[in-house]
Structure 1
Amino acid sequence: MTVLNKRILTSILFVLISFVCVAQDPPPPGPPPAPGFLPIDGGVLLGVIFALFYGVRKLMITNKK
């Protein structure tokens, strides 16, 4: 099999696989979350604030040296 034939065969297979993937039905939606879960908002905000303070502290320490 020549290199050109391998490339053509590979291209055809990729196109066919993409058609099969598009033809799939999306999965059904999951059940709603149970009550009592904590929102992500507060944890993300706290993490960003902590990361900012940590980054500033590291910059100040490296600039002193």
Structure 2
Amino acid sequence: MKTTYLILLTISTLIITTSSVFAQPALPAAPSQAPIDGGLSLLAAAGGAYAIKKLREKKNQEEELP
């Protein structure tokens, strides 16, 4: 009787403990992309405004020369 009880206890312990074994975690997710709606759009708008200003200044200088 003791042998049967010991075998049954061993098997049930192994079954219960194997369900709590965890696998290795998955690889981390891909990094998120750069947010275009943040400060990057303001930087692009400021760059465009600066380019327009420089083009107008260049045009005015060319008109004054002749």
Q: TM-score range by the shorter chain?
A: 0.3 to 0.5
Normalised by the length of structure 1, the TM-score is 0.43
Normalised by the length of structure 2, the TM-score is 0.43
Structure index of larger Rg: 2
